[in-house]
Amino acid sequence: MEAIYSWLNSLVNKNKSEFAKWSSINWLNPYSASDYEAQRTVLLEKLDSSILFNATKPYHQQISKGCSICGAGQWSCLFITNKCNAACFYCPVPQNDDERPSTQGLDFNNAMEYAAYIKHFDFKGVSFSGGEPLLFYQRTKDYLKAVRQHCKDDIYIWMYTNGLLADAQRMAELADNGLNEIRFDIGATNFSLDKVKLAKGIIPNVTIEIPAVPEEKEQLIAMLPAMKKVGVTNLNLHQMRLTQHNASKLLKRGYTIINAERPLVLESEMAALEILNAARNQDMEIGINYCSFHYKHRFQKAGYRQMLARELYPPEMITSAGYVREFSGNAIAYKLVKLVTGNSINGGAKSTRLDNKLWNYEEYYILKEENLSLTLQGKIEALLAAEPSVPPADSLLFRIWQLEYIESGLRAYF
């Protein structure tokens, strides 16, 4: 079996094992997959050249500055809290408890620690998310002020909110402290635009960001003129995914589930692409961006891995997927670099100093092959010199390809 099919089969086995108790899941079968891919291709082709990141981020008109920064791997998303005051059926995780602000597995005890982190790595953009940031409004404002005061003047800052606790006074205070953009999930307010209106003329950029819910497709299309009227500059649509937390709610809706690295809702992607095409056909003057799971899982994560790897290694050792390559003679290895708080777990981490705080990097070998034949060495050298047009058939070369490149060739297989 070619490596690509073996890998895809492993995804099927993993997902079906993890969700074994949900016997009613409508998994995408091979007979339907080709029809779905054909429909998807037609919708993408209608968008002409308005497609970024190997067809994982199609858009209409424009994407926001925050999304541009994200795509460049220069964005930090801080989860102010894990607690939320809404109960959206599509939420992938439980959000019941307040926890320390965190990002990428790092906890921050105070706003100054986070500002030092942002300054050290020279992030161009910062967002505050949750949970619901407005549940802990003073904390959110403290972190906003620290980043604005201690980082570069041109850093772009935005906040995600369900809007339930939004009011004009808070919007004005956030704007006064340097918030550039606010993003509302109107799914939490039954698609009401009342809270969105509060931000118009106060916060410079107003965005609606919501999962692409298939049942709400026509409503969202019909709402586009109203969104524009109340000052919305961009509509960001996300792909819904199936999790242990939301399975009981999603499966009642009869969605088709795709066996990707995480189980995904097929109809969610189709709804997003149809909304994009409807806006294009109507020549709507509003930016719409589809942020697919594949974009977030591949390009977004690769950008962060590259940023950390650059702290420790020369650029020629860092792959486009953000891993560190060691290749010499008859051996090849790849490492993942991870920033950790507290003491190093494996005792061999390198470190860097952020102002007066020492941060540790842990390094994990995720592939290590020795005693390579001369023939295989030659094939590896050719693979490193240029990305092949199709995934390699050999299992080792396929794994190397995954660690070298951002899996651009895999999207067509889902």
Q: Residue 61 above 60 pLDDT?
A: yes
Tally helices (H) and strands (E) across the chain: 14, 18
Q: Which of 161-170, 226-235, 289-298, 367-376 has the lowest mean pLDDT?
A: 289-298
Identify whether the C-beta of residue 322 lies closer than 8 Å to the C-beta of residue 301: yes
Q: b vs e for 118-148, b when ≥16 Cβ sit within 10 Å of the residue's Cβ? A: bbbbebbbbbbbbbbbbbbeebbbbbbebbb
- Map residue 215 onto helix, strand or coil: helix
pLDDT in tens, 154-206: 999 999 999 999 999 999 999 999 999 999 999 999 999 999 999 999 999 99
Q: Residue 279 above 90 pLDDT?
A: yes
The average pLDDT across 3-19 equals 93
The pLDDT, as a whole number, for residue 298 is 87
The pLDDT, as a whole number, for residue 120 is 87
CA–CA distances in Å: residue 32 to residues 22, 26, 247, 346 = 21, 11, 22, 47
The pLDDT, as a whole number, for residue 349 is 59
The average pLDDT across 88-113 equals 93
The pLDDT, as a whole number, for residue 251 is 95
Q: Residue 54 above 70 pLDDT?
A: yes
Q: Which of 215-219, 299-303, 354-358 has the lowest mean pLDDT?
A: 354-358
Measured CA to CA, the distance from residue 138 to residue 392 in angstroms comes to: 52
Domain at 9-303: CATH code: 3.20.20
Read off the pTM.
0.92
Identify whether the C-beta of residue 322 lies closer than 8 Å to the C-beta of residue 407: no
Half-sphere exposure for 339 (CA within 13 Å, toward CB): 24
The pLDDT, as a whole number, for residue 62 is 93
The average pLDDT across 370-376 equals 96
**First-to-last C-alpha distance (Å) of the chain:** 18
- Among residues 3, 36, 1, 61, the alpha carbon closest in space to that of 259 is found at 36
Domain coordinates in residue numbering, the chain: 9-303, 314-413
- Among residues 148, 154, 202, 150, the alpha carbon closest in space to that of 177 is found at 148
- Lay out the sheet containing 263-265: strands in order across: 26-27, 256-259, 263-265
- Map residue 60 onto helix, strand or coil: strand
Measured CA to CA, the distance from residue 60 to residue 281 in angstroms comes to: 10
The pLDDT, as a whole number, for residue 363 is 87
The pLDDT, as a whole number, for residue 356 is 64
Q: Residue 52 above 90 pLDDT?
A: no
The pLDDT, as a whole number, for residue 310 is 86
Q: Residue 344 above 60 pLDDT?
A: no
The pLDDT, as a whole number, for residue 359 is 72
Residue 124: φ, ψ to 5°: -90, -15
The pLDDT, as a whole number, for residue 345 is 47
Two tokens, residue 324: 């560190």
Measured CA to CA, the distance from residue 301 to residue 53 in angstroms comes to: 13
Q: Which of 92-96, 186-190, 268-272, 358-362 has the lowest mean pLDDT?
A: 358-362
Higher pLDDT, 348 or 159: 159
| Block residue for tokens 């190093």 | 344
Identify whether the C-beta of residue 407 lies closer than 8 Å to the C-beta of residue 399: no
The pLDDT, as a whole number, for residue 137 is 98
Instruction: Return contacts of 295-298, CB within 8 angstroms, 24+ apart.
Output: 295/53, 295/56, 295/57, 297/260, 297/261, 297/262, 298/56, 298/406, 298/407
Share of the chain above pLDDT 70, in %: 94
CA–CA distances in Å: residue 230 to residues 169, 196, 216, 222, 308 = 18, 7, 20, 14, 40
CA–CA distances in Å: residue 10 to residues 1, 3, 109, 306, 345 = 12, 10, 40, 27, 30
Largest Cα span, the chain: 69
- Map residue 208 onto helix, strand or coil: strand
Share of the chain above pLDDT 90, in %: 75
pLDDT in tens, 329-339: 899 999 999 88
Identify whether the C-beta of residue 293 lies closer than 8 Å to the C-beta of residue 241: yes
CA–CA distances in Å: residue 1 to residues 4, 64, 111 = 8, 43, 52
